[in-house]
Each structure stands twice: as structure tokens, then as C-alpha cells.
Amino acid sequence: MPIMLRRGGRKQKNGTAKGGDEVARIIYKNRAGQQLPGVTTIIAGLGWNKEGLMWWANQMGLEGKSHRDVAEKAADAGTLAHAMIELELKGRPAPQTGDIDPAIVSRAETAYLGWCQWAELVKFQLIASELSLVSEKHGFGGTLDIAAIQGVHSIIDLKTSGNIYPDHWIQVAAYGRLYNENYEAKIEAYYILRIDKLTGGFDHSYRPELNDAWEAFQCLLRLHQLKNKIK
């Protein structure tokens, strides 16, 4: 069974994956009990960054590969790497991988080792990992990978994608607003750590503010709300 991230906050098991494996999906609700959309749903559901995905799928076809098969294996490796990192942060044993494709495990372990090298390099102070929050003001929820003190209060988002894209910064900007709405200490630094699943190398990108990205997210949120009204 594929390793699925077990996130904090409001959580409900819902749905099944291919082959009948149970998956964990977070349900975000406000104080009134109304279900709210998540950050990734808001961004992905409106087609942001589809051009890059189409180019990648075309490249897979030119190489004689099924883009669906490659995407599923990459997603599994990324999910497993995230699980390894989360358990490491929480001081818990590594996930069991006996039933997982060894190639996927190898890629996940490579990404995990890249994470270990980065963590040793920056020596951040952990505040929370897999932190699920809701914005009562704006009406959405999200789960931050890492909130930490890296000189100042910071958000660290983990990616195992081939590159860092604009929608990643939009996602992190939304996480920053979630944190700032729920805590007194405010986020002053935003990081995306992209870890290569094949080499273990990493790119560490930093932004002191994400005002434009937050403005873009608000537009996407409004479009998401309008889309649900148009039947």
C-alpha cells in the first residue's frame, strides 16, 4: 500500500485510490461547520501551469513512455519522500516500504537524503510540520509542510517537482496568510526547497515577501467561488 501523508488538523478519510487502497484526504471546515476549499484545490482546479504539464507529457510521448505511468511513479516517490521527512521531523520510525516498488523507494530515499543534507546545512528550529489551518476571513484551508524559525518565523514548502513554478509561490503565499491569521508571530521569510528525486540535489529558493503571489491567489479563490456558482 502506498505511503500516504497523515496530516494534522481536521482530517477525514474519504475515497479510494487505484486498486482499492484507502487514502487520507483533509476536509477543511470553518467554525460554522461549512466545508472550505483547500489551497491546492483552488490553484489546480483553475488550470494554472497546464502549459508546462502539456510540454512534459509531450516529452514523455516522444521518449516512448506513458506520461500517466511516469506521473504516478513520480507522485508515489514524492509522497513517500514527504512521509519520510515528516516522520523524521516528528521523531518517529521511518515508514514501512516492503510492499512498494523498489525503484520508487530508491527515488524517495534519494530525496530524503537531500533533505537531510539541507536540514544539516541550515539548522532551522522547527515550530510545526504538516500544520493544517483554516482562514475564517477568506474562506479556505491549507496544510503547511513546515513552519520554522530560520532567523525569523518562516514557511518551508517541500517540492520534488522538476522545477519551481509561479504557482508554487502562490501556494506558499496562501500558507503564509493562513499562518498569520492564526498566530501572533508573523511569517517574515518564505522558502521552497526543491529536492531532486534522482540525484538528491536541492534548490533552496527564498522570498522575503509574496504580496503579488497573494494577490494572484485571491483572484484564483474568487474564480473558484464563481465557478461553483455557475452550473
Q: What is the pLDDT of residues 22-43, one digit of tens each?
A: 235 789 999 999 999 999 999 9
**Domain residue spans of the chain:** 12-49+79-229
pTM of the complete model: 0.77
CATH topology of domain 12-49+79-229: Lambda Exonuclease; Chain A (3.90.320)
Q: What is the pLDDT of residues 55-67, one digit of tens each?
A: 334 443 544 543 3
Look at residue 24 in the predicted model and tell me its pLDDT.
53
Look at residue 227 in the predicted model and tell me its pLDDT.
86
User: Between residues 32 and 14, which one has the greater pLDDT?
Assistant: 32
Q: What is the pLDDT of residues 148-199, one digit of tens each?
A: 999 999 999 999 888 899 999 999 999 999 999 999 999 999 999 999 888 8
Look at residue 95 in the predicted model and tell me its pLDDT.
82
Assess whether pLDDT exceeds 60 at residue 85.
yes
Task: Of 211, 56, 30, 1, give the one whose Cα is nearest residue 136.
Answer: 30
In the predicted model, what is the mean pLDDT of the chain?
79
Assess whether pLDDT exceeds 90 at residue 145.
yes
Assess whether pLDDT exceeds 70 at residue 54.
no
Look at residue 39 in the predicted model and tell me its pLDDT.
96
